[in-house]
Structure 1
Amino acid sequence: METQTIRFYHRGQVQEVSDAPVTRTLLQYLREDVRCTGTKEGCAEGDCGACTVVIGELQDSGDVEFKAVNACIQFLPTLDGKALITVEDLRQADGALHPVQEAMVECHGSQCGFCTPGFVMSLWALYQQHTPGGEPPPRQTICDALTGNLCRCTGYRPIIDAGQRMMALPAPQADRIDPRQIADTLRNLKRGETFHYNARGQHFYAPRTAAEFGAIKAAEPNIRILAGSTDVGLWVTKQFRELGNLLYVGQVEDLNQIAEHDGFIEIGAAVTLEKAYAALNTAHPELEELWKRFASLPIRNAGTLGGNIANGSPIGDSMPALIALGTQVVLQRGDVRRVMPLEDLYLAYQKTAMVEGEFVAGLRVPVQGPQHFRTYKLSKRFDEDISAVCAAFGITVENGIVTAACIAFGGMAATPKRAVLAEDALTGKPWNEATARAGMAALGQDYTPLTDMRATADYRSRGAANLLYRFWLETRDSALPAAMVNVRAIGAGETVSA
């Protein structure tokens, strides 16, 4: 297969790259190759947001979707066929600041300034979703958009103020960023065949169909599959690993679909976490807090739910909830597919039931969940943190008796794992405090958690049991509203009474 150049839109024109290493990050390209040094490097692992840029992708509607991502962990070949917007693009043709930048100035949102370009780009992506002069985004929406940006000197209040102020400022009169022009350019850049890039003996493949993807994987079973780079990117930036050839899922159109069939929400392996959780939250609104607390918006804009599942991390937040909902995983080898319960995919730490050449093609999540369903996350920070414990509970109660129970935890074992003894302790029993406490005791036999940097084994065990008790409080006959058992709501001054 003949090698091709990486083509993308940046700084008002099509850029072509032919000699960069396959795993060269977008941040390295910007700062070292084209001297766009407004984009900063902080953590090099997608946590601080100093490197935030905006990627534009052509949608089926013909419009361009803009989304903030972390440049430090995105590999340059994944940019093929897309648009790249950096802080250098925002200054207007007449030299004026963009309203987002002007709002940061007016609201005193910058002090040392190192983090400011990242904040500006996150706010610019949000700006594109609203009408200048119209209603500003709600404060919580601004906070959600900034979960991936860390500030250590100015503080968030003036930056959030800037997010509200930016919509009231006059719209750019000489904006160099024209979404219609970008859309026309991206249509011309769109490839109808597999994109193949080869540099220094390392190959990067971006197929357009699942059949092509499966054929490449079958021919080279050990090829590394790349989705959003939110984990694999760190293997390069932090562990300095050699990854070999890469097979990119991001351009596979039939794996980038969400559909509803036969009582299931079917989510392709290339669907981003943000879009997947938005679809799941429609059917299961109990997922909303987990959705918003899953990493940060730039990470959810890049990472995929399929990648999170395939990774199989014991602290991956998606799996407990999906297991409790009865999710099935779709596996593919060549052009042959098979379906299995998600809980059966994980055999041991970092070991799955996938055979050689097989990959995660998608997920099937039931539209109808358990009668009572909740997810909870314990972590040191509320936003953008890895779980110490992630819990999901699903039960059905008929005439006061628990007729079905599914409990799953992350962070409690070497894999995401169901609590079968606790489920047995609940099933067939009245849904009362005694039953809940029996389930809490059984959790001590289901799991033997470890002590690590995130939590002690004792904290995990006690925390898991207390989450089951909270679940009972929220679902008993005289159920307490979430505000009465949520520490953030209580801390904000909610009145609590039993």
Structure 2
Amino acid sequence: MDVTVNGQKKSLCGIRAHENALDWLRSSRLTGSKEGCAEGECGACAVMVAVPDGSGGSTWTAMNSCLIPAAALDGQEVVTAEGLGTSGELHPVQEKLAEAGGSQCGYCTPGFACSMAAEYYRGDRTPCEHPEDSEHGPNGFDLHALSGNLCRCTGYRPIRDAAYELGSPEVGDPLAERREAAPPTPASTDYTADDGRFIRPATLEEALGILSSEPDAVLVAGSTDWGVDVNIKGTRVPLMVAIDRLPELRTLTMDDSRFEIGAAVTLSEVEKHLGTRIPLFGELFPQFASRLIRNRATLGGNVGTGSPIGDTPPALLALDASVVLASSEGEREVPLAEYFTGYRQTVREPGELIRAIRVPQPLAQVTAFHKIAKRRFDDISSVAVAFAVDLTDGLISRARIGLGGVAATPLRAHATEELLVGRPMNAETARQAAASLAGEGTPMSDHRASSEYRSIMLSQAVLKFFAEQAEREEVGA
């Protein structure tokens, strides 16, 4: 077992099965990456990993090394802040951060440098003609690339200034040239240590065979949820099975009848390919955690955890999505509205895994996603509401509303959906729907919000949805 770090192969032999990449890097004297939160919220641990760009080349992608199992790096290629430049020969990103005063205590700076460098090397980054009307800088730099990096002492203005001063990679830049070749294929791994076993099967058939004989094995894809359990809760299991690079789970297809998204396609990839084709996704993903998380998290993983506050299930429920479950016995398709059975419980049987998510076409005419959280970005939702509505002759002919954070499971708001059908999109309908939606679910009180607040936010979401639609119609008229 080995991994290429900053151009040099390093052995992974002797690691613990549950050891994360950050701890391994630091034990290898690459101490630029730091542990700040161990949950993927601060970005101090960010590194760059070479991943496929979909066209036969590579793209440098920033990820939280505190959440990635070290064993998952077997055969991979990683760049840390130390690999960007040295004190004698700074990388352009490091140089601009220094010139702008973008570092004070320096604890978070290596993580910022890696996230910034990944955006610096983004192949389709182009100058922005009207940056005042865009979330991109004049050089095309997308500040959302830094949304998962926190700084507690410098402030973000000089960091932003540094990002906006970056030009394009120069000819001969080795990290830019590296993009022309495909990234290494993840190595098939079967590693056993004192604290457990880590397996990366080569095919879906092999993975299903393992699950058939070891139904209690933990499936690991993006590890953005599992990594937190390992780091914070100290969870340890006998067997982990990595499925994040299985080709059969990495497909993304579409036709006139449906979109099919492989369970191991990352959220950033879904956002890139379907963010405009499925407008509800275009609203959802910018509010889902941070770019660092979306670069690793998978759609199948977010659904598979069964969390009542996951951000994608409400949107998928509104889209009438279904889940394709695979086992060594075959496949079955389950409507997502029937998938969740209790708190973090689903109909998935031992030996099964989620192979894909299907979204039927045609899509609803009017959609919206509203997330209520303590922070605008990079936060867990207190309440999430997704709307998908069709209109015929000015009346609502079909309505789907997905809810998160108001019950033990994500759920459909059936009563409010029925109330809306046959009614016009006017203020009176909005008021009645708001009163109905406030009574859906069984919201509880916790450290994020009270049950009363959650009910109020449900009703406010309806009023906001109707107001937004009225505004669009006015502008269109």
TM-score, L = length of structure 2: 0.92
Distance 1:279 1:59 in 2: 12
Q: Does 1:290 align with 2:284?
A: yes
Distance 1:144 1:481 in 2: 28
Instruction: Provide the residue aligned with 2:265 in structure 1.
Output: 271
Q: Which moved more, 1:115-124 or 1:257-266?
A: 257-266
Instruction: Provide the residue aligned with 1:496 in structure 2.
Output: none
Distance 1:345 1:392 in 2: 18
Q: 2:18, 2:195 within 8 Å by CA — same for their partners in 1?
A: no
For residues 190 and 435 of structure 1, do their structure 2 counterparts lie closer, same or farther at Cα, with a shift above 3 Å needed?
closer
For residues 108 and 201 of structure 1, do their structure 2 counterparts lie closer, same or farther at Cα, with a shift above 3 Å needed?
closer
| C-alpha distance after superposition, 1:59-83 (max 9, x if no partner) | 5644222100011111101112211
Distance 2:474 2:151 in 1: 36
Distance 2:450 2:124 in 1: 48
For residues 152-171 of structure 1, the aligned pairs below 5 Å read 152-167=152-167, 171=170
Q: Which amino acid aligns with 1:135?
A: P
Instruction: Provide the residue aligned with 2:151 in structure 1.
Output: 151
Instruction: Provide the residue aligned with 1:491 in structure 2.
Output: none
Distance 1:302 1:443 in 2: 34
Q: Which amino acid aligns with 1:126?
A: E
Q: Does 1:216 align with 2:215?
A: no
Q: Does 1:475 align with 2:469?
A: yes
| C-alpha distance after superposition, 1:360-385 (max 9, x if no partner) | 11111124211211111111111100
Deviation at 1:91, TM superposition (A): 1.2
Deviation at 1:276, TM superposition (A): 1.5
3-state SS in 1 of match to 2:198: strand
Q: Does 1:120 align with 2:113?
A: yes
Q: What is the CA RMSD across the aligned residues, in angstroms?
A: 2.3
3-state SS in 2 of match to 1:402: strand
Instruction: Provide the residue aligned with 2:80 in structure 1.
Output: 86
3-state SS in 1 of match to 2:248: helix
Which of 13, 17, 36 aligns to 2:12? It is 17
Q: Which amino acid aligns with 1:30?
A: L
Q: 2:57, 2:180 within 8 Å by CA — same for their partners in 1?
A: no
| C-alpha distance after superposition, 1:140-186 (max 9, x if no partner) | 85320010000111111111111111217x8386x5647449947x5
For residues 69-80 of structure 1, the aligned pairs below 5 Å read 69-80=63-74
Q: Which moved more, 1:136-145 or 1:423-432?
A: 136-145
Distance 1:428 1:160 in 2: 49
Displaced runs of 4+ in structure 1, greater than 3 A?
A: 58-62, 134-137, 170-173, 175-184, 476-482
Distance 2:421 2:399 in 1: 6
Deviation at 1:207, TM superposition (A): 1.6
Q: Does 1:36 align with 2:30?
A: yes
Q: Which amino acid aligns with 2:103?
A: S
Deviation at 1:58, TM superposition (A): 4.5
For residues 345-494 of structure 1, the aligned pairs below 5 Å read 345-476=339-470, 479=473
Q: 2:314, 2:411 within 8 Å by CA — same for their partners in 1?
A: yes
Q: 1:379, 1:388 within 8 Å by CA — same for their partners in 2?
A: yes
Q: 2:12, 2:74 within 8 Å by CA — same for their partners in 1?
A: no
Q: Does 1:236 align with 2:230?
A: yes
Distance 1:414 1:249 in 2: 27
| C-alpha distance after superposition, 1:107-130 (max 9, x if no partner) | 111111111111100000011115
| C-alpha distance after superposition, 1:87-116 (max 9, x if no partner) | 001116x93100000000111111111111
TM-score, L = length of structure 1: 0.89
3-state SS in 1 of match to 2:293: helix
Distance 1:481 1:147 in 2: 32
Q: Which moved more, 1:419-428 or 1:364-373?
A: 364-373
| C-alpha distance after superposition, 1:269-301 (max 9, x if no partner) | 111111123233121224323211100011001
For residues 302-317 of structure 1, the aligned pairs below 5 Å read 302-317=296-311
Which of 46, 49, 53 aligns to 1:55? It is 49
For residues 430 and 48 of structure 1, do their structure 2 counterparts lie closer, same or farther at Cα, with a shift above 3 Å needed?
same
Q: How many residues align?
A: 468
**Percent identity of the aligned residues?**
38
Instruction: Provide the residue aligned with 1:26 in structure 2.
Output: 21
For residues 481 and 382 of structure 1, do their structure 2 counterparts lie closer, same or farther at Cα, with a shift above 3 Å needed?
farther
Q: 2:196, 2:236 within 8 Å by CA — same for their partners in 1?
A: no
| C-alpha distance after superposition, 1:241-292 (max 9, x if no partner) | 1122001111201111111135211111111111123233121224323211
Distance 1:478 1:106 in 2: 44
Q: 1:215, 1:335 within 8 Å by CA — same for their partners in 2?
A: no
Q: Which amino acid aligns with 2:49?
A: I
Q: Which amino acid aligns with 1:405?
A: A
Instruction: Provide the residue aligned with 2:103 in structure 1.
Output: 110
Distance 2:124 2:276 in 1: 25
3-state SS in 2 of match to 1:102: helix
What stretches of structure 2 of length at least 5 have no aligned partner? none
Q: Which amino acid aligns with 1:98?
A: H
| C-alpha distance after superposition, 1:368-410 (max 9, x if no partner) | 2112111111111111000011100111121222211111110
3-state SS in 1 of match to 2:166: helix
What stretches of structure 1 of length at least 5 have no aligned partner? 483-498
Q: Which amino acid aligns with 1:301?
A: N
Instruction: Provide the residue aligned with 1:135 in structure 2.
Output: 127
Distance 1:15 1:481 in 2: 59
Distance 2:385 2:355 in 1: 25
Distance 1:371 1:11 in 2: 48
For residues 297-336 of structure 1, the aligned pairs below 5 Å read 297-336=291-330
